[in-house]
Amino acid sequence: MSEEHLLATREGHVLILTMNRPDRLNAISGPMLAALSRELQQANIDPDVRVVVLTGAGRGFCSGLDLKDFGGLGVGGDGAYRLFDLQNSPPVVLHRMDKPVIAAINGPAAGYGMDLALGCDIRIAAESAKLGAVFVRRGVLPESGGCWYLPRLIGWARAAEVAFLGEVLDAQRALELGLVNRVVPDDRLMDEALAWARRIASNAPLSVQATKRMMRLGLDETFEATVDHTYLQLLPLFRTKDFEEGVRAFAERREPSFQGR
């Protein structure tokens, strides 16, 4: 599998996706772009997958789109439409997913790579990680979600600071801004990310997915609409075996064992 641009491995209910072009700091290639969308879409409908961890091979998370790999798509040509497939691109697929996704940021995450990280639900960074909002230094803009995520994650003024200055943030600065959840030593990154993933996976998966769905939709809804939609999500959860197991485990003072049914 070493020749593949994306590696997919499983640990229990956790799917680990590793961008695998370490010689290019995992710059996004055409095959990687397609494989990442495909694996994420499949994970979202696979009942055995409860959490996804996204990371990079070697010393980088993702250094952005590798435009050389797209064979002279050309600015303004038809190739641009193929490159930015608004229906099936990884950032759009990430945003639509109900399964939780953890970014284990093991090094530079720049441009498209930074947008990918921001599209994940939880970001755990190695001490050597960097988030590069370098779009304005390249004559473009955060085209893959960054314009939407940054103001919502850190507020308008700080998002403007990061984006307009084209800043490269080290891990500690990203933590101070609230762009990452935790910073850990490099050699502990995957252990930490998998520990979080296992804890999430131990909870009732249908409940976790419904919670994420309502949080995502709630970003664009009124409070009243969210209350109504949340109630409609709650009703089917009351009929699940996992709800019965959760109540029974609480009464019996033991840890629940959820089956996703």
- The segment(s) of the chain belonging to CATH 1.10.12 are 205-252
Question: pLDDT at position 78, please?
Answer: 52
CA distances in angstroms from 213 to 159, 207, 226, 235, listed in the order given: 25, 10, 11, 15
pLDDT tens by residue, 148-172: 999 999 999 999 999 999 999 999 9
Superfamily grouping for domain 6-201? 2-enoyl-CoA Hydratase; Chain A, domain 1 (3.90.226.10)
Residue-level pLDDT at 50: 98
pLDDT in the model for residue 69: 62
Nearest residue to 186 (alpha-carbon basis) of 101, 102, 107: 107
Asked if residue 1 has pLDDT above 50, the reply is no
Mean pLDDT for the chain overall: 91
User: Over 90: is that where the pLDDT of 84 sits?
Assistant: no
pLDDT at 71 exceeding the cut of 80: no
pLDDT at 199: 97
Query: Residue 141: is its pLDDT beyond 60?
Result: yes
In eight-state DSSP terms, residue 188 is G
Residue 51 has pLDDT above 90, yes or no: yes
B/e letters for 89-113, b = 16+ CB within 10 Å, e = fewer, are bbbbbbeebebbbbbbbbbbbbbbb
Say if residues 124 and 109 touch (Cβ distance below 8 Å): no
The helix (run of H) or strand (run of E) holding residue 7 is strand 6-11
**Tokens found for residue 42:** 């499949």
Q: What is the phi-psi region of residue 111: left when phi exceeds 0, alpha when psi lies from -120 to 50, beta otherwise?
A: left
**How does pLDDT run across 185-207, given as a tens digit for each residue?**
999 999 999 999 999 999 999 99
pLDDT of residue 22: 93
99 has a pLDDT exceeding 90: yes
DSSP character at residue 137: G
Task: Provide CATH 3.90.226.10 ranges for the chain.
Answer: 6-201
Helices (H), the chain: 30-45, 78-83, 90-96, 112-119, 146-154, 156-165, 171-177, 189-201, 205-218, 223-238, 241-252
When pLDDT is cut at 50, 70 and 90, the band that residue 247 belongs to is very high
pLDDT confidence band for 81 (50 / 70 / 90): low
Strands 168-170 and 182-184, by their bridges, are unpaired
For the segment 104-139, what is each residue's pLDDT rounded down to a tens digit? Answer: 999 999 999 999 999 999 999 999 999 999 888 888
List strands edge to edge, sheet with 108-110.
108-110, 130-132, 168-170
Question: How far does the chain reach from its first CA to its final CA, in angstroms?
Answer: 34
Architecture of domain 205-252 in this structure: Orthogonal Bundle (1.10)
Q: What is the mean predicted confidence (pLDDT) over 42-52?
A: 97
